[in-house]
Amino acid sequence: MGVTIHFSGKLKSPDDFIRAMAISEEFAEANTMPYHYFEEDDKLLLRVKNEEDWDYQGPVKGIRLQPHPNSDPLLLEFDENYIVQEYCKTQFAGASIHLKIIELLRKLESYFENLLVNDEGEYWETNDEAVLQEHLDIIFDKIEDAKKENPNLNGPFRVADGRIVDLMKQDNLS
């Protein structure tokens, strides 16, 4: 459930990594989004390729932006081969934040060999804000319907890694 932007790709070169980080930093500052750079020597990234697990273990580096208090963090977390596979749920932050994230991905697209974007709001494909808003409206209706069906469901909730969960049972909160 949700309106989420999934993206993956491989940067063309180490220089493109530097450019992508600079563009992301400029974007975050221009849009007053908190951000920070990170680098880890050894991290497990859970990935999927062709519907099969394709996990990565090793060094990672990148930038983490917080587009809105009610969105997932936007992680541009690259492995040692400059591959990224991430997602950012935007539905609770609204259409304007969704549009901003797509704007950033479009700015970064030319630095990738092939940037694949699966936008559950369909804005990436259509550039149609009405289509995006329709997806947002549908998901909020589904969340409200689920809460009516099961009074033990509540949400949204932010979990330890900063991601947002749409719904959880009340007994999972303790």
- For the stretch 63-76, pLDDT in tens is 999 999 999 999 99
Question: Taking the model in full, what pTM does it have?
Answer: 0.90
Residue 152 counted as domain residue: no
- Quick one: pLDDT at residue 173? 47
Q: What is the token pair recorded at 77?
A: 């977390």
User: Is-contact 97 71, C-beta < 8 A?
Assistant: yes
Residue 135 counted as domain residue: no
Structure confidence at residue 55 as a pLDDT band (50, 70, 90): confident
List for the chain the helix, strand, coil content (%; round to 5). Answer: 35, 35, 30
- Determine the structural domain holding residue 8 and report its residue range: 4-126
Number of domains in the chain: 1
Residue 74 counted as domain residue: yes
Q: How many residues belong to the chain?
A: 174
- For the stretch 95-132, pLDDT in tens is 999 999 999 999 999 999 999 999 999 999 999 999 99
Residue 166 counted as domain residue: no
- For the stretch 19-35, pLDDT in tens is 999 999 999 999 999 99
Say if strands 56-65 and 52-53 run parallel, antiparallel, or are unpaired: unpaired
